[in-house]
Amino acid sequence: MDLLQCTAHEIRDLLRKKEVSSKELTEAALDRIDKVDGTLKAFLHISRESALTWAEEVDKRFSEGQEMSDLAGIPMALKDNMCTEGLPTTCASKILQNFVPPYNATVTEKLYQQKAILMGKTNMDEFAMGSSTENSAFSKTKNPWDIQRVPGGSSGGSAAAVAAGEVFYALGSDTGGSIRQPASFCGLIGLKPTYGLVSRYGLIAYASSLDQIGPLTKDVEDCALVLNGIAGHDSMDSTSAEGKAVDYRKALICDVKGLKIGIAKEYFGEGIEEGVKKSVYAAIELLKSLGATYEEVSLPHTQYALPTYYIIASSECSSNLARFDGIRYGYRTESFDNLTDLFVKTRSEGFGEEVKRRIMLGTYALSSGYYDAYYKKALQVRTLIKQDFDKAFEKFDVLIAPTTPTPAFRLGEKTDDPLQMYMSDVCTVPINIAGIPAISVPCGFIEGMPIGMQIMGKHFDESTLLRVAYTLEQHTAYHKERPVL
């Protein structure tokens, strides 16, 4: 048995039966990283020694018969914008290349408490700004299905690491599709939870009203296990939602009888590849054959989602990234004449082109004389987009659409045309604008490359999303396919 091809829940069962040890798993994962990551570039930092130490501790607890969590002893990875005490957290940016946080993000702490084994930090688009993981200051991550293609972004390193069998699951962050889009490109399950369900404390902010942490996994059951491990109220995060704890494993029911599905017609228009449409509709017909019903629904303000997103996100990033000035932490230019010169040179040398582009766009949108015309207007349109979803969910249990317009594109294909790159997020950004949950599930292949179907749900109704995704998964085999490296 190739352990690294197993799912996290399969590994959990093997650990509990003592058929494998956490140290064996960790050593196998490290060997896999040594073998393939020189090509893939999924990782920025490897925590080799600490991972082996934690694994030995977990094995000791298992041998003593202690009750352990579902995630105990299982190798995983974190996107490099989630703080890890004693381990670099760079956001794939030169400006933070030597930053080692003095504290853990809440999700990091929760996974540590459950004795998960952190293998390292994964590559990403700098400060999570991008759709291809080509904007990293350190390396470009490759897609395990075809190393000439991108893995998606900005959580491309996390997606590539899971798809390549380097870890069993990983966390990413999703501001406008950055979990779901790489999940689609790499043949994985990717969940963007409801805004506020998972704490953002210790997540280095890009756009605070849009960012959300979520899992990238090999199947839906793994997704439920990881969500159980990271969801919940956090007093350290003022936007964290209060509510009763939910066991998402109970949502893993293979049954969609009576489920009402809305087909968001605006998501099947111009720019969506025909092969993607066919695969998504085939999955919808499968759900219908299993007892669900569907009909078309209109979300009329979808056409304004992309410009609305880029105005809001850029404005918030302009504010959030103002703290990186060479004074308190991070990179500082070596030569400067005065304080202003220090700021200008540090930020000019420390930030990449895409980050500068979005900071400038956001600063312009927030400036005197333009605030009302751009940022305020974008917030008003945001309300209309949310109302579209609210109205649709009065009639439907879930909405379904493609996750991405196309399969993974080739490295360098869109780097010279930012607007074309932004269009790859056209199906995912409305979900972040509305704050609702959405999950990407593999639904087919085009020329050997995986594609995903996006299932959208009501606020805090992740259970229904998982039930629909699980039902689809149990009647298809796309999630069982693995890339050959």
* Among 21, 23, 47, 79, the one annotated catalytic: 79
CB count within 10 Å of CB 384 equals 13
Q: Please indicate, yes or no, if residue 145 is contained in any of the structural domains.
A: yes
Quick one: pLDDT at residue 420? 83
The domain that holds 32 is classified in CATH as 3.90.1300.10
Confidence of residue 417 (pLDDT cuts 50, 70, 90): confident
Q: Please indicate, yes or no, if residue 311 is contained in any of the structural domains.
A: no
- Tell me whether residue 240 is one of the annotated catalytic residues: no
Model confidence at 221: pLDDT above 80: yes
Compute CA distances 442 → 264, 314, 333, 344, 364, whole Å.
Answer: 18, 30, 45, 45, 39
Quick one: pLDDT at residue 423? 83
Compute CA distances 319 → 82, 164, 166, 173, 315, whole Å.
Answer: 19, 36, 36, 19, 7
pLDDT digits (tens, 9 = 90+) for 43-81: 999 999 999 999 999 999 999 999 999 999 999 999 999
Quick one: pLDDT at residue 447? 93
Q: Once rounded to an integer, what is the mean pLDDT over residues 439-445?
A: 98
Model confidence at 328: pLDDT above 90: no
Confidence of residue 270 (pLDDT cuts 50, 70, 90): confident
Model confidence at 422: pLDDT above 90: no
Q: Please indicate, yes or no, if residue 114 is contained in any of the structural domains.
A: yes
Q: Once rounded to an integer, what is the mean pLDDT over residues 6-32?
A: 97
- Number of folded domains in the chain? 1
Q: Once rounded to an integer, what is the mean pLDDT over residues 186-205?
A: 98
Please provide the average confidence, as pLDDT, over all residues in the chain: 96
- Tell me whether residue 178 is one of the annotated catalytic residues: yes
pTM for the model stands at 0.97
Q: Please indicate, yes or no, if residue 160 is contained in any of the structural domains.
A: yes
User: Which residues, other chains included, contact 5 with Cβ-Cβ below 8 Å and sequence gap of 6+?
Assistant: 165, 482
pLDDT digits (tens, 9 = 90+) for 228-250: 999 999 999 999 999 889 999 99
- Tell me whether residue 17 is one of the annotated catalytic residues: no
Quick one: pLDDT at residue 136? 98
Q: Once rounded to an integer, what is the mean pLDDT over residues 259-278?
A: 95
Q: Please indicate, yes or no, if residue 473 is contained in any of the structural domains.
A: yes
* Containing structural domain, residue 203: 3-256+461-480
* Among 47, 132, 155, 178, the one annotated catalytic: 178
CA distance 292 to 297: 16
pLDDT digits (tens, 9 = 90+) for 351-373: 999 999 999 999 999 998 999 99
In what side-by-side order are the strands of the sheet with 293-297?
43-46, 117-122, 75-79, 169-173, 213-217, 189-192, 438-446, 449-456, 398-402, 260-264, 293-297
Q: Please indicate, yes or no, if residue 305 is contained in any of the structural domains.
A: no
CB count within 10 Å of CB 328 equals 8
Confidence of residue 459 (pLDDT cuts 50, 70, 90): very high
Model confidence at 265: pLDDT above 80: yes
Model confidence at 41: pLDDT above 80: yes
Give the total residue count for the chain: 485
Q: Please indicate, yes or no, if residue 485 is contained in any of the structural domains.
A: no
Quick one: pLDDT at residue 424? 83
* Among 154, 199, 314, 440, the one annotated catalytic: 154
Quick one: pLDDT at residue 415? 86
Q: Please indicate, yes or no, if residue 241 is contained in any of the structural domains.
A: yes
According to the 3-state scheme, what is the secondary structure of the chain? Answer: CCHHHCCHHHHHHHHHCCCCCHHHHHHHHHHHHHHHHHHHCCEEEECHHHHHHHHHHHHHHHHCCCCCCCCCCCEEEEECCECECCECCCCCCHHHCCCCCCCCCHHHHHHHHCCCEEEEEECCCHHHCCCCCCCCCCCCCCECCECCECCCCCCHHHHHHHHCCCCCEEEEECCCCCCHHHHHHHCCEEEECCCCCECCCCECCCCCCCCCEEEEECCHHHHHHHHHHHECCCCCCCCCCCCCCCCHHHHCCCCCCCCEEEEEHHHHCCCCCHHHHHHHHHHHHHHHHCCCEEEEECCHHHHHHHHHHHHHHHHHHHHHHHHCCCCCCCCCCCCCCCHHHHHHHHHHHHCCHHHHHHHHHHHHHHCCCCCHHHHHHHHHHHHHHHHHHHHHCCCCCEEEEECCCCCCCECCCCCCCHHHHHHHHCCCHHHHHHCCCEEEEEEEEECCEEEEEEEECCCCCHHHHHHHHHHHHHCCCHHHCCCCC
Q: Once rounded to an integer, what is the mean pLDDT over residues 294-307?
A: 96
Residues of the chain above pLDDT 90, percent: 95
Confidence of residue 416 (pLDDT cuts 50, 70, 90): confident
Residue type, 130: G
